[in-house]
Copies of this chain bind each other. A is one copy, B any other.
Amino acid sequence: MTSLNNDTLIKALLKQPVTRTPVWMMRQAGRYLPEYRKVRGQAGSFLNLCTNPELACEVTLQPLERFAFDAAILFSDILTIPHAMGLGLYFSEGEGPKFERPVRSAADIAKLPIPDPEQELRYVMDAVRLIRKSLKNRVPLIGFSGSPWTLATYMVEGGSSKSFARVKGLLYEQPALMHEMLDKLAQSVSAYLNAQIAAGAQTVMLFDTWGGMLSSEDYLEFSLRYARRVREQLHTVSDGQRVPTVLFTKGGGQWLEAMADSGYDALGLDWQTDIGLARARVGERVALQGNLDPVALYASPEVIRGKVQAVLEKFGAGSGHVFNLGHGILPDIEPSHVAAMVDAVHELSPVWHR
Interface on A for B, CB 8 Å cutoff?
163-165, 168-169, 172-173, 212-219, 251, 253-254, 271-274, 277, 293-296, 298-300, 303, 307, 310, 326, 330
Contacts and interface: CB of A to CB of B under 8 A. Distances in A.
Contacts of A298: 165, 168-169, 172
B254 A274 contact: yes
A302 B262 CA distance: 32
* Residue of A216, A310, A330 with most chain B CB atoms under a 10 A cut-off: A216
Given A173-B299, A296-B172, A215 B254 contact: no
A107 B277 CA distance: 39
Contact of A303 (B172, B214, B218, B307): B172
A274 B213 CA distance: 13
A296 B216 CA distance: 13
A218 B292 CA distance: 12
B215 A173 contact: no
Contacts of A330: 163, 165
Contacts of A173: 299-300, 303
B254 A251 contact: no
Given A163-B330, A253-B254, 13 more contacts: A164-B295, A165-B330, A168-B293, A169-B295, A169-B298, A213-B272, A214-B293, A215-B271, A215-B272, A215-B274, A216-B272, A251-B251, A254-B277
B217 A310 contact: yes
Contacts of A273: 216, 254
Contacts of A293: 168, 214-215, 218
A203 B324 CA distance: 43
A260 to B, nearest CB: 15
Given A173-B303, A251-B272, A274-B254, A163 B295 contact: yes
Contacts of A310: 217
Contacts of A296: 168, 172
Those 4 A-B pairs whose CB atoms lie nearest each other, nearest first = A216-B274, A172-B299, A168-B295, A253-B254
19 contacts: A163-B294, A163-B295, A163-B330, A165-B330, A168-B293, A169-B295, A169-B299, A172-B296, A173-B303, A213-B272, A214-B272, A215-B274, A215-B293, A216-B277, A217-B274, A218-B293, A219-B272, A251-B251, A254-B273
Contacts of A254: 253-254, 272-274, 277
A210 B254 CA distance: 18
A104 to B, nearest CB: 15
Contacts of A271: 215
* Residue of A163, A168, A169, A215 with most chain B CB atoms under a 10 A cut-off: A215
A212 B271 CA distance: 10
Contacts of A253: 253-254
A351 to B, nearest CB: 20
A209 to B, nearest CB: 14
A216 B276 CA distance: 10
A251 B253 CA distance: 10
Given A251-B251, A300-B173, A303-B172, A165 B295 contact: yes
A166 to B, nearest CB: 9
* Residue of A273, A298, A300 with most chain B CB atoms under a 10 A cut-off: A298
